[in-house]
Structure 1
Amino acid sequence: MSTASNIKRSILVLSISFTVMVVEILGGYAFNSMALLADGWHMGTHTIAIGITVLAYLYAKNKANDPSFAFGTWKVEILGAYTSALLLIFVGLTMGYESIERLFNPKTIDYGYAIATALIGLLVNALSALILGHHSHDHHHGHTHTVGHSHSHGHGRADDSDNKSPLETDLNLKAAYIHVITDAITSLLAIIALIAGLLFDWNWMDPLMGIVGSILVLLWSRSLIKQTTSILIDSGAQDETSETLRGKIKHLVTDISDIQDLRIWRTSNSHYACIIKIQGNADTNVRDHITLALSKLPISYAAIDIDEKVKHQKNSDLQNETRGNR
């Protein structure tokens, strides 16, 4: 799925979410439902998250050709997801506080209207999930830029990201999608609480589900912060794909030369960059062999450093040994 398609889908979901958010919050206050208010405010966080997603997409697209971004503008999208998660922590704590307060100071709830409003929220979340999760096919080709003592370019085959869902390759879109799913669960909890209160007069269920909803928001925020932080600081183990690539690179390159150091990090939704330090002779075609090997992987940038210290040390030892024999 292209970025343009992701932007259109995100804007559509943003419009729908904002409308439902207003309806649920007004309904929660009108019907004195804490669970409905929690669902409405969580829909608000969902709206904020989608809004940040859209802004990140637009900014990254606008600055795509800006040379000041050495490895592209992809991390702008990741920064947007990180910011959204920080805002969610505040909202989750607020939801929990208000729910606890309502647990000890219950109010009369208009269950009929509250249930109807929560059902609308659930349907909207399901629709949003379908919109964001729809998989269309776009095709592109890989291009590896290799930098070392000399410059060369390798054209390789495209990686298998074309066959993957956009939710598997686009973290910005995935963050919005997870938020929608969390919203749907919160809506479902609100409905359960309201039905229980209506049938069994369990008024405590409403604020209790509000507390559960706030915990879900906090857990989601924690997970997103952990994931985006590792990417923003170029942590070594960013995701399963980077670790898989690390293993493939070692397997391919060790057949050519010994690896002294290997660094790998993400530069886009489906491409990576790496720095490889190897032992070898710069006069040979080792670099060309490595470039060819990397062209088979989703590596968009590679810096290859050939260390000849070992070679020079061996030559020095050989010369010393020759002098000693004399």
Structure 2
Amino acid sequence: MSNFTNDAFGAGHDHIFLGAAHADNERRTWMVIALCSAMMVAEIVGGSLFGSLALVADGLHMSTHAGAMLIAALAYTYARRHATDSRFVFGTGKLGDLAGFTSAIVLAMIALLIGYEAVSRFFSPVPIHFGQAIPIAVVGLLVNLASVWLLSGDHHGHSHGHSHGHSHGHGHEGEHGHDDEVQRVFGTAGVFAVSIFEDGVPPVFRITPETANSKLTSDSVSVVTIRPDGTRQTFAFAERNGYLESKEDIPEPHAFRAVVRLPDGEHEIEFEEHDHGHDDAHDAASRDHNIRAAYVHVIADAAVSVLAIIGLVLARAFGWLWMDPLAGVVGALVIANWSWGLMRDTGGILLDMNPDRRMAENVRHVIEDNGDTVLDLHLWRVGPGHMSAIVSVVTHEAQRNPDFYHAALKRFRGLSHVTVEINPTRAAAY
């Protein structure tokens, strides 16, 4: 007997999984295209009027720069206009990753061309017109810096509305992060670190043994918080891999006394509220790779301009003509490295690789802490800051329907679409 549903929460049934900064990034990208296009026209017209072949060549180079930006801009525009198109089963949120992958290939080709040209100049040096080349390189650098400034508002892909929160002890299992948010309890069974932890879910307590052979069971531990207004809340715990984690979330603010009940008695500690920045634990899941690709392109171009200026200045000052092609080789290697990183990240998303294994682990814990068993679990990214999940559950409770699991999983920020398959046991079915 099976109960299957594909009801979603978070983004709703319209399947709009665009990044929270989609409109702003689209606007920024078109602004960079306008800047590069204006510079391109000025250089080509000016070079033609004044007979400067170098200026015309740089203008043509600027056209490739604008073309690369056009990939990102068109992806934003198309994704926005077709966000509600039912033909896209999971929306158009991954179109930016496709554009980012395409841009990564373009960057790789540019790296190869620069590297080939640089190596050929080692063996066949060409005369350099320093009077023209250096000013053009400086102008190109200024345009690239302006482009970097225009794109830098959200190039890391912080998905506002999905990635904000408190960084209470981010890290791997058992790590506590900031020492000022970890309190230690000294009991007869050993020393235990009590921390407030958040990694993709609302804050929870974690209790981790810090001495050898120290071990606690979930039924022998509880925490009672006492807030300044006298409000009390009791937290039960579940056993994890080497530590205990509270089943209940910790409400804001995180300023309270906490009574930790261990087998040897009660221990009182105190937590103070701290100012916290962005939650970066889910950068991989929330990063906008389209704006990242555009940003990497202009940064790469700026880096090449800087290396070119250095090479040209040294070549003119000391007669080191080999410095110019050497700068080209270094620039090609830098661009190739950035291209590979972008290709790897976007390719993984296009192949539905799970970018947030910790969230998958936490989803499994939430369901199994309620006494059920997870038969199958798949998580993948459908857009910047949006994850989708398919969960197959075995339950002994006949009254548990898909809404029960949707409510339990609403705690996960960025989990925008959930499909639940319920498999009641024979006892539950009757």
Query: What's the TM-score once normalised by structure 1's chain length?
Result: 0.76
Distance 1:93 1:141 in 2: 38
2:280 pairs with 1:280: no
2:320 pairs with 1:192: no
RMSD over aligned CA atoms reads 3.4
Distance 1:138 1:306 in 2: 32
Q: Secondary structure at the match of 1:74?
A: coil
Selected match of 2:357 from 231, 243, 253: 243
Identity of aligned residues (%): 36
Structure 2 partner of 1:305: 421
Structure 2 partner of 1:207: 325
Structure 2 partner of 1:134: 153
Cα distance, 1:90 vs structure 2: 2.4
In structure 1, stretches of 5+ residues that fail to align are 143-161, 316-326
Cα distance, 1:138 vs structure 2: 9.3
Cα distance, 1:189 vs structure 2: 0.6
Name the CA shift for 1:14/1:164 in 2 (closer, same or farther; >3 Å): farther
Query: What's the TM-score once normalised by structure 2's chain length?
Result: 0.59
Structure 1 partner of 2:407: 292
Distance 2:122 2:59 in 1: 18
Cα distance, 1:244 vs structure 2: 2.8
Structure 1 partner of 2:215: none
Q: Which residue identity lines up with residue 357 of structure 2 in the other structure?
A: E
2:173 pairs with 1:57: no
Name the CA shift for 1:43/1:209 in 2 (closer, same or farther; >3 Å): farther
Structure 2 partner of 1:6: 25
- Deviation string, structure 1 residues 3-33 (Cα, Å, up to 9, x no partner): 2222211011112234445777998x95779
Counterpart contact for 1:24–1:121, Cα < 8 Å: no
Name the CA shift for 1:75/1:164 in 2 (closer, same or farther; >3 Å): same
Cα distance, 1:56 vs structure 2: 0.6
Structure 2 partner of 1:322: none
Structure 1 partner of 2:117: 98
- Deviation string, structure 1 residues 154-188 (Cα, Å, up to 9, x no partner): xxxxxxxx957999632211111122222221111
Q: Secondary structure at the match of 2:94?
A: helix
2:141 pairs with 1:122: yes
Counterpart contact for 2:107–2:297, Cα < 8 Å: no
Q: Secondary structure at the match of 1:264?
A: strand
Distance 2:301 2:407 in 1: 46
In structure 2, stretches of 5+ residues that fail to align are 1-19, 164-276
Q: Secondary structure at the match of 2:383?
A: coil
Cα distance, 1:251 vs structure 2: 2.6
Name the CA shift for 1:89/1:54 in 2 (closer, same or farther; >3 Å): same
Q: Secondary structure at the match of 1:267?
A: strand
Distance 1:69 1:286 in 2: 28
Distance 1:279 1:109 in 2: 73
- Deviation string, structure 1 residues 170-215 (Cα, Å, up to 9, x no partner): 2211111122222221111111101111111100111111122222
Q: Which residue identity lines up with residue 231 of structure 1 in the other structure?
A: I
Cα distance, 1:45 vs structure 2: 4.7
Moved more, 297-306 or 243-252: 243-252
Q: Which residue identity lines up with residue 389 of structure 2 in the other structure?
A: C
Selected match of 2:297 from 179, 191, 194: 179
Counterpart contact for 1:31–1:109, Cα < 8 Å: no
Structure 2 partner of 1:230: 348
Counterpart contact for 1:48–1:84, Cα < 8 Å: no
Selected match of 2:385 from 270, 291, 294: 270
Q: Which residue identity lines up with residue 176 of structure 1 in the other structure?
A: A
Q: Secondary structure at the match of 2:321?
A: coil
Q: Secondary structure at the match of 1:68?
A: coil
